[in-house]
């Protein structure tokens, strides 16, 4: 019973490059959420997606950030033209349904910007 | 407002003692609450949840208490073990038109001394 799988675990990029973070939800889960965590802080919601649809992107910066969850394959969080302030841990979670259900998290991608 | 770069509250207990971790939530409309445990380098791990129509729920060695009057949540860990050392986050799910986003508290660092 694989949990939420994220890759890569660590990603280093130079300023101005693109970062692509991948998330495969738990089997049977069709709801995916992305969160961002700075050191010694709680997780901050970014975006909520179902298959092929963005449901809520109110926590995601309007520029340089995008997310998708295609019909086939993992969910992708894409950050274009990265800046030092993008350095953080990015976590993906999934749930079976929407609403009052536990969200189960992957072990995150730690993004470092040089 | 949001906390920025503050040190985590800490709780230090002796092995075998009971631990109580507290959390204040902000939205009286929240109807679902989750406690997560996060170990260094890993994603948040689901511990226990509670819906707003309950005031207490018990799991294995853990109990969550919900006081809606003062918007307070607590996690009690019985017979704390060294493996319980981690950061503990409470999270609330707010009722939104799009649903399902979690809002995390600031976290508490629990250290269990042998």
pLDDT digits (tens, 9 = 90+) for A62-109: 999 999 999 999 999 999 999 999 999 999 999 988 877 899 999 999
**Minimum CA–CA partner of B42 in chain A:** A107
**What average pLDDT score do residues A3-31 get?**
96
- What would the DSSP string read from start to end of A68-79? E--SSS-EEEEE
**What average pLDDT score do residues A28-41 get?**
91
- The pLDDT tens digits of the residues spanning B15-67 come to 999 999 999 988 888 889 999 999 999 999 999 999 999 999 999 999 999 99
Q: Is B64 on the interface with A (CB under 8 A)?
A: no
The whole-angstrom separation of Cα A38 and Cα A56 is: 21
A-interface mutation test, from B24, B44, B96, most A Cβ less than 10 A away: B44
The answer to whether the CB of B75 falls within 8 A of the CB of B64 is yes
pLDDT, chain B, mean? 89
Considering only CB atoms, which chain A residues are within 8 Å of B42? 107-108
The whole-angstrom separation of Cα A36 and Cα A109 is: 10
B-interface mutation test, from A42, A55, A89, A104, most B Cβ less than 10 A away: A42
**Which of A55, A91, A100 lies nearest to residue B31, judging by beta carbons?**
A100
- The pLDDT tens digits of the residues spanning A41-58 come to 889 999 999 988 999 999
Residue B58: how many CB atoms within 10 A of its CB?
Answer: 12
**Which of B3, B31, B104 lies nearest to residue A43, judging by beta carbons?**
B104
Q: Please say if the pLDDT value at position B3 is more than 50.
A: no
Instruction: Give the pLDDT score at A13.
Output: 98
Considering only CB atoms, which chain B residues are within 8 Å of A55? 98-100
Instruction: For residue B101, name the pLDDT band (cuts at 50, 70, 90).
Output: confident
Instruction: Give the pLDDT score at B57.
Output: 98
Instruction: For residue A1, name the pLDDT band (cuts at 50, 70, 90).
Output: low
Q: Please say if the pLDDT value at position B4 is more than 50.
A: no
The whole-angstrom separation of Cα A75 and Cα A71 is: 9
**Which of A40, A100, A108 lies nearest to residue B43, judging by beta carbons?**
A108
């Amino acid at each position: 019973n694989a949990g939420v799988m994220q890759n890569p675990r660590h990603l280093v990029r130079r300023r101005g490059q693109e970062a692509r973070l991948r998330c495969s939800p738990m089997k049977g889960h069709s709801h995916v959420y992305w969160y961002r965590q700075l050191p010694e802080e709680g997780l901050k919601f970014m975006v909520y997606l179902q298959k092929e649809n963005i449901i809520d992107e109110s926590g995601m910066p309007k520029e340089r950030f995008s997310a998708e969850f295609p019909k086939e394959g993992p969910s992708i969080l894409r950050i274009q033209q990265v800046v030092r302030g993008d350095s953080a841990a990015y976590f993906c979670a999934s749930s079976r349904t929407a609403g009052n259900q536990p969200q189960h998290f992957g072990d995150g991608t730690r993004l470092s910007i040089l | 407002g949001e906390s920025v770069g503050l040190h985590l509250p800490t709780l230090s207990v002796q092995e075998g003692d009971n631990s109580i971790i507290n959390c204040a939530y902000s939205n009286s409309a929240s109807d679902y609450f989750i406690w997560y445990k996060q170990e260094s380098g890993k994603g948040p791990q689901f511990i226990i949840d509670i819906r707003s129509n309950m005031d207490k729920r018990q799991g294995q060695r853990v109990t969550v208490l919900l006081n809606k009057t003062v918007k307070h949540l607590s996690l009690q860990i019985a017979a704390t073990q060294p493996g319980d050392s981690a950061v503990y986050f409470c999270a609330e799910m707010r009722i939104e038109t799009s649903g399902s986003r979690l809002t995390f508290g600031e976290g508490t660092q629990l250290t269990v001394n042998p």
